[in-house]
């Protein structure tokens, strides 16, 4: 059976079995990944995979099932599983399969040239990065991580109302972490680049970024515990935003999992804050013409000058709230149930450079990295307490490297405390971006 | 399933360009998940994962190619693709495959894929019924998951075998709220067990009570103060400290390439005398246990640290070559989408001699971390961090009041020598551990321990 025959057989069988409307979501793709350690290529991994999920309305409820096996047995297994799933579901919110929009926007998320880059060139890049990084400074002991990965895939949505959508997506990721050693001290620094244009992967720049950070951090030390004026830089702020992006989901709000429920129209952040969800951002990693329910996507501000303008919706949450979907239906992988997620999600840039923000701050800290977000950031309470590193700022200038501190606060409060948003909008490796942000005061545990 | 003649042909194809070892791993897995919110089933999702991977070694080079197409042609194409990346100088032939029976040490009474979902939902509702009655609890979220993973492994050393791994787990999460603030509490026990786990390890009502209590306690707790202080970490999930601060840095994944602060320290003192740490895959029906690892090697019980002395690393096949040391049955992966590497199984600090009451009474001022959340580590530097999900402030050896929002940070090699008390009551708890070969079930564990000084993050 070809995949198109499989899809048709599945939709036919579903309707025959009494499912009122059915939809398949198919994700397929190729991926290449390799690492280089001491000149040798390791972790060389190649794959071509596909997965399909079927969802269907049965007796008014939505059922789900997914498979990676595409034989005839799978057709009836999926249909039966969808019926059982729907029968057990007690969610009273009305769900639907979408009939489609008249027009879909164009999203820039595929570069055919990237698929043509040969493996030898990818391997040569990481071998080159390792050589260059080691040559930059005697104190660089090794690269503890040095990876190139490319992926190219296609998403399809086909349903029993005749909707038939597809879009392609590809990207290359290069990530490097360098280890520096000097008189018994060890530190690391990272460099990376995510792009759809392989020519933008510059071995010199990536190696230099990792090496400079590792060397700078060699002398890092904790600062005394206390309250500090702080800027979270553009490499780090997107991680913070990503840990809490769920609070902007109408699904979380309707389930009582977000404190933003019912706050549309209210000031929830300082006037310096405008938060965008832009699925049509040129070259954005989260760019897409339609969402996971097949709804045409559009650009909107979620926070405009501090005011919450909208939460993010899919069809179900929008119907419940009596509004129009924002086209933010999403799935975590092909097999997941439809939920809500941002596309390209970022704080709109302001006018000042990071240097100017530092100048305005005078004395304080710039936080360049936080870790342990999956454990130390609680999206339900908004509380965070995170291991961090960065540097001190003295009289507006970069001073000493700082590590082994924690920063603690509350995300909802942080939004209100933001004094200024910088001009250096960065997407450091995902669809979530931010400029450097002056967050006012922050609690620090150190020495 | 994997047929012997197909496996033999695939291994031969994989070695055609001079590889010196080849392996095929085929997986067929059924995952089943149910989620419930406020007592209503939100979704029931079943997913069949199916695929295979071919791995070829040439010296220290490892190549891995995987696919969903497990037909003979699909697997041969996979082997050919892997061989393409290898340029060996000598040619090796695959040994004749010989069937190896795997002795099963994890007896399953009721396979979860044979249990109707309605019975699973009924168990979730038992927890919900309790949550509904708990004061200040405004929302309950309950999840159930089970998984039956069948694997077939064949390699050019002649190994040909199969194993079945069965997992069942439930989680209850409660949200306490006063309208302006939310706090959460949760528990998530599980095991390498079938539905019979509800007769022993999983008690839905007790889980609901525990989750509600934790959320409520945290709602009324002030924020933890920041600073350096003694920290007592309770048993069970408290063992995540060893997992992050030390366990990951003892995996060959880090050690073999010189990226661990414990490199070259075998036989040396790395922890206080009272610390003995073990990684054991052989405990019947435990969450992190195995019969064989994902390279087909029987699982083992491995002493990592004995009375403070570093004894062993966890080592997989490829890293065994780099380190010139034997494998330890620690080669694990999430599934066919990952090449295996050395990973933890059930990892714990063994029971010691100290008395829990004395441990707290003699700590002075500090933090008692009763329940831990997750954490992470950077093995190269040993820098770790984790979250305290239920903590209490201790003054002059007495527990004063709960505190929220605490986190613990430090470096593994610095913390281990500072463990000055180890209690008697070792308990394990279940977690999902994420690393280079994916997300896998592991247990953490320990008795109550005390660290004489640690950086506590708070406000």
- Residues of chain A neighbouring B381 (CB-CB closer than 8 A): 186-188
In the prediction, which pLDDT does B386 show? 87
Average pLDDT for B256-267: 91
- For the record, the structure tokens of A362 come out as 């005078």
In the prediction, which pLDDT does A38 show? 84
Which of A77, A255, A375 lies closest to B374 in CB terms? A375
- For the record, the structure tokens of B315 come out as 């080592």
Task: Report residue B245's pLDDT band, with 50, 70 and 90 as the boundaries.
Answer: confident
Per residue in B110-129, pLDDT (tens digit) is 999 999 999 999 999 999 99
In the prediction, which pLDDT does B375 show? 83
CA distance A65 to A53: 6
Average pLDDT for B62-79: 94
In the prediction, which pLDDT does A1 show? 82
Domain that holds residue A377: 226-241+349-445
In the prediction, which pLDDT does B251 show? 97
In the prediction, which pLDDT does A4 show? 94
CA distance B38 to A34: 45
SS (H, E, C) B275-303: CCEEEECCCCCCCCCCCECCCCCECCEEE
- Residues of chain B neighbouring A383 (CB-CB closer than 8 A): 404-405
Residue A104 within any structural domain of the chain: no
How far is residue A381 from each of residues A74, A113, A443, measured CA to CA in Å? 42, 45, 17
Please determine, for residue A92, whether its predicted confidence score (pLDDT) is greater than 90. Answer: no
Residue A207 within any structural domain of the chain: yes
**What kind and span of H or E run contains A205?**
helix A203-217
**Residue that the structure tokens 């047995």 belong to:** A73
Q: Which of residues 55-74 of A touch B (CB under 8 A)?
A: 62-70, 74
- For the record, the structure tokens of B213 come out as 């209590």
Average pLDDT for A124-134: 96
Q: Which of residues 271-330 of A touch B (CB under 8 A)?
A: none
Please determine, for residue B149, whether its predicted confidence score (pLDDT) is greater than 90. Answer: yes
What residues have CB less than 8 Å from B320, skipping those under 6 apart? B252, B326, B327
Q: Test A43 with B339 for CB contact under 8 angstroms.
A: yes
In the prediction, which pLDDT does B374 show? 82
Residue A123 within any structural domain of the chain: yes
| DSSP per-residue string spanning B346-367 | EEEEPP-SB-HHHHHHTS-SEE
Please determine, for residue B257, whether its predicted confidence score (pLDDT) is greater than 90. Answer: no
CA distance A392 to A399: 5
What residues have CB less than 8 Å from B14, skipping those under 6 apart? B22, B24, B54, B56, B79, B82, B83, B94, B156
Average pLDDT for A115-136: 96
CA distance B428 to A199: 50
Average pLDDT for A184-201: 92
In the prediction, which pLDDT does A428 show? 87
Q: Does B414 touch chain A (CB under 8 A)?
A: no
CB of B342 within 8 A of CB of B327? no
Question: Does A356 share its domain with A405?
Answer: yes
- The domain that contains A193 carries what CATH number? 3.30.2290.10
CATH class name, domain B112-149+164-219 = alpha beta
Closest to B418 in 3D by CA, of B272, B285, B290, B278 = B272
Q: Does B37 touch chain A (CB under 8 A)?
A: yes
| Three-state SS at B216 | helix
What residues have CB less than 8 Å from A11, skipping those under 6 apart? A22, A24, A158, A159, A160
User: Would you call B328 exposed, middle or buried from its count of C-beta atoms within 10 A (0-12, 13-18, 19+)?
Assistant: buried
Which of B117, B223, B407 lies closest to A376 in CB terms? B407
Question: Does A146 share its domain with A234?
Answer: no
Task: Report residue A295's pLDDT band, with 50, 70 and 90 as the boundaries.
Answer: very high
Average pLDDT for B389-402: 96
- Residues of chain A neighbouring B175 (CB-CB closer than 8 A): 256-257, 380
Question: Does A433 share its domain with A365?
Answer: yes
Average pLDDT for B263-285: 97
In the prediction, which pLDDT does B373 show? 87
Q: In angstroms, what separates the C-alpha of A57 from chain B's closest C-alpha?
A: 13
A vs B: CB pairs below 8 A: 243
SS (H, E, C) A222-247: CCCCEEEEEEECCCCHHHHHHHCHHH
Query: Which residues, in sequence order, are bridge partners of residue B36?
Result: B41, B142
Q: In angstroms, what separates the C-alpha of B354 from chain A's closest C-alpha?
A: 29
Please determine, for residue B182, whether its predicted confidence score (pLDDT) is greater than 90. Answer: no
> How many structural domains is chain A composed of?
2
Average pLDDT for B328-340: 97
Residue A281 within any structural domain of the chain: no
Per residue in B39-53, pLDDT (tens digit) is 999 999 999 999 999
CB of A330 within 8 A of CB of B40? no
Question: Does A137 share its domain with A230?
Answer: no
- For the record, the structure tokens of B66 come out as 């995987």
Average pLDDT for A411-436: 95
Across all residues in chain A, what is the average pLDDT? 95
Residue A76 within any structural domain of the chain: no
Question: Does A131 share its domain with A190?
Answer: yes
CB of A277 within 8 A of CB of A342? yes
In the prediction, which pLDDT does A422 show? 98
CA distance A278 to A312: 12
Residue A271 within any structural domain of the chain: no
What residues have CB less than 8 Å from A412, skipping those under 6 apart? A247, A259, A268, A382
Question: Does A202 share its domain with A233?
Answer: no
Q: In angstroms, what separates the C-alpha of A140 from chain B's closest C-alpha?
A: 13
Per residue in A25-72, pLDDT (tens digit) is 999 999 999 999 888 888 899 998 999 999 999 999 999 999 999 888
Q: Does A36 touch chain B (CB under 8 A)?
A: no
Question: Does A206 share its domain with A355?
Answer: no
Lowest mean pLDDT, pick from A200-209, A271-280, B240-249, B264-273: B240-249
What residues have CB less than 8 Å from B117, skipping those under 6 apart? A84, A85, A88, B32, B34, B44
Average pLDDT for B312-322: 97
What residues have CB less than 8 Å from A85, skipping those under 6 apart? A63, A64, A65, B43, B44, B45, B46, B117
Residue A287 within any structural domain of the chain: no
Question: Does A195 share its domain with A146?
Answer: yes
| DSSP per-residue string spanning A338-375 | PEE--SSEEEPP-SB-HHHHHHHH-SEEEEEEEE-HHH
In the prediction, which pLDDT does A43 show? 84
Task: Report residue B171's pLDDT band, with 50, 70 and 90 as the boundaries.
Answer: very high
Question: Does A354 share its domain with A213?
Answer: no
In the prediction, which pLDDT does B258 show? 85
Q: Test B175 with A257 for CB contact under 8 angstroms.
A: yes
In the prediction, which pLDDT does B459 show? 81
Q: Region of A187 please: left (phi>0), alpha (psi -120 to 50) or beta.
A: beta
In the prediction, which pLDDT does B310 show? 98
In the prediction, which pLDDT does B144 show? 98
Per residue in B222-238, pLDDT (tens digit) is 999 999 999 999 999 99
Across all residues in chain B, what is the average pLDDT? 95
Which of B63, B226, B378 lies closest to A188 in CB terms? B378
Question: Does A383 share its domain with A235?
Answer: yes
CB atoms within 10 A of CB B2: 22
Question: Does A200 share its domain with A234?
Answer: no
Which of A144, A337, A445 lies closest to B259 in CB terms? A144
Per residue in B426-454, pLDDT (tens digit) is 999 999 999 999 999 999 999 999 999 99
In the prediction, which pLDDT does B259 show? 85
In the prediction, which pLDDT does B424 show? 97
- Residues of chain B neighbouring A41 (CB-CB closer than 8 A): 61
In the prediction, which pLDDT does B166 show? 98
The ranges of chain B annotated as CATH 3.30.2290.10 are 112-149+164-219
Higher pLDDT: A37 or B278? It is: B278
Could you give the percent of chain B with pLDDT greater than 90? 89
Q: Test A380 with B184 for CB contact under 8 angstroms.
A: yes
CB of B192 within 8 A of CB of B166? yes
In the prediction, which pLDDT does A352 show? 97
Residue A211 within any structural domain of the chain: yes
C-alpha A212, offset from chain centre: 26
CB of B212 within 8 A of CB of B177? no
Please determine, for residue A380, whether its predicted confidence score (pLDDT) is greater than 90. Answer: no
CA distance A195 to A174: 9
């Amino acid at each position: 059976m070809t995949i198109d025959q499989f899809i048709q057989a599945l939709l036919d069988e579903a309707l025959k079995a009494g499912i009122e409307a059915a939809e398949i979501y198919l994700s397929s793709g190729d991926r290449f990944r390799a690492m280089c350690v001491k000149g040798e290529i390791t972790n060389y991994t190649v794959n071509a995979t596909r997965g399909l999920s079927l969802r269907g309305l049965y007796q008014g409820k939505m059922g789900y099932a997914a498979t990676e096996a595409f034989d005839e047995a799978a057709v009836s297994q999926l249909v039966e599983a969808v019926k059982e799933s729907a029968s057990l579901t007690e969610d009273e919110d009305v769900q639907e399969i979408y009939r489609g929009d008249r027009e879909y926007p164009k999203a820039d998320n595929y570069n055919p040239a990237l698929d043509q880059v040969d493996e030898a060139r990818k391997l040569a890049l990481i071998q080159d990065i390792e050589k260059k990084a080691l040559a930059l400074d005697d104190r660089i002991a090794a690269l503890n991580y040095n990876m190139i990965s490319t992926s190219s895939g296609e998403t399809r949505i086909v349903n029993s109302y005749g909707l038939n959508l597809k879009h392609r997506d590809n990207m290359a990721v290069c990530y490097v972490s360098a280890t520096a050693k000097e008189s018994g001290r060890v530190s690391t620094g990272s460099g990376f680049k995510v792009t759809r244009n392989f020519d933008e992967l510059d071995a010199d720049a990536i190696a230099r970024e990792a090496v400079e950070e590792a060397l700078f951090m060699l002398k890092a030390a904790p600062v005394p515990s206390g309250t500090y004026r702080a800027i979270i830089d553009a490499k780090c702020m997107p991680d913070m935003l990503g840990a809490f992006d769920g609070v902007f989901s109408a699904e979380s709000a309707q389930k009582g999992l977000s404190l933003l429920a019912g706050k549309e129209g209210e000031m929830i952040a300082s006037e310096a804050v405008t938060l965008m969800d832009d699925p049509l951002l040129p070259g954005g990693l989260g760019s897409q013409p339609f969402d996971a329910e097949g709804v045409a996507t559009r650009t909107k501000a979620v926070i405009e000058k501090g005011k919450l303008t909208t939460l993010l919706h899919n069809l179900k949450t929008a119907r419940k709230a009596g509004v129009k979907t924002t086209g933010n239906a999403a799935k975590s992988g092909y097999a997941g149930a439809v939920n809500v997620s941002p596309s390209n999600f970022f704080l709109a840039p302001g006018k000042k450079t990071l240097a100017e923000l530092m100048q305005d701050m005078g004395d304080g800290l710039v936080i360049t990295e936080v870790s342990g977000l999956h454990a130390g950031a609680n999206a339900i309470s908004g509380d965070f307490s995170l291991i961090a590193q960065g540097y001190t700022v003295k009289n507006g200038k970069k001073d000493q490297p700082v590590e082994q501190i924690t920063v603690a606060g509350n995300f909802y409060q942080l939004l209100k405390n933001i004094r200024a948003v910088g001009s250096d909008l960065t997407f450091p490796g995902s669809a979530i971006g931010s400029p450097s942000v002056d967050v006012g005061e922050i609690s620090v545990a150190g020495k | 399933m994997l047929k012997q003649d197909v496996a033999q042909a695939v291994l031969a194809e994989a070695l055609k360009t001079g590889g010196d070892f080849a392996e095929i791993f085929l997986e067929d897995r059924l995952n089943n998940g149910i989620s419930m919110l406020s007592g209503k089933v939100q979704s029931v999702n079943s997913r069949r994962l199916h695929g295979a991977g071919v791995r070829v070694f040439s010296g220290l080079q490892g190549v891995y190619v995987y696919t969903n197409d497990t037909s003979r042609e699909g697997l041969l194409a996979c082997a050919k693709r892997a061989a393409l990346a290898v340029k060996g100088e000598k040619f090796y032939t695959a040994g004749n495959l010989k069937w190896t029976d795997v002795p099963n040490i994890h007896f399953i009474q009721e396979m979860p894929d044979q249990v109707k979902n309605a019975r699973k939902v009924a168990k979730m509702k038992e927890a919900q019924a309790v949550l509904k009655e708990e004061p200040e609890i405004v929302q309950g979220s309950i999840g159930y998951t089970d998984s039956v993973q069948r694997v077939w492994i064949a390699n050019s050393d002649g190994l040909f075998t199969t194993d079945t791994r069965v997992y069942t787990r439930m989680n209850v999460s409660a949200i306490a709220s006063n309208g302006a603030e939310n706090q959460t509490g949760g528990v998530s026990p599980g095991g390498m067990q079938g539905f019979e786990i509800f007769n022993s390890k999983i008690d839905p009502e007790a889980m609901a009570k525990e989750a509600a209590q934790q959320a409520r306690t945290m709602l009324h707790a002030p924020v933890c103060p920041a600073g350096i202080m003694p920290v007592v970490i309770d048993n069970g999930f408290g063992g995540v400290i060893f997992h992050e601060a030390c366990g990951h840095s003892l995996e060959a994944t880090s050690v073999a390439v010189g990226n661990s602060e414990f490199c070259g320290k075998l036989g040396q003192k790395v922890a206080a005398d009272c610390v003995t740490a073990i990684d054991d895959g052989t405990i019947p029906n435990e969450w992190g246990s195995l019969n064989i690892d994902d390279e087909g090697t029987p699982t083992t019980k491995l002493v990592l640290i004995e009375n403070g002395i570093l004894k062993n690393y966890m080592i997989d096949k490829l890293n065994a070559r780099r380190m010139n040391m034997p494998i330890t049955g620690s080669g694990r992966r999430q599934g066919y989408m990952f090449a295996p590497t050395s990973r933890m199984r059930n990892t714990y600090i063994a029971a010691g001699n100290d008395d829990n009451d004395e441990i707290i009474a003699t700590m002075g001022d500090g933090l008692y971390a009763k329940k831990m959340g997750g954490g992470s580590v950077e093995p190269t530097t040993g820098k770790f961090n984790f979250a305290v999900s239920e903590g209490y402030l201790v003054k002059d050896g007495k527990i004063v009041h709960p505190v929220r929002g605490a986190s613990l940070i430090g470096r593994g090699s610095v913390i281990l020598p500072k463990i000055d008390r180890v209690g008697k009551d070792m308990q394990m708890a279940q977690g999902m551990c994420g690393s280079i070969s994916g997300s896998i079930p592991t247990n953490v564990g320990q008795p109550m321990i005390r660290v004489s000084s640690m950086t506590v993050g708070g406000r």
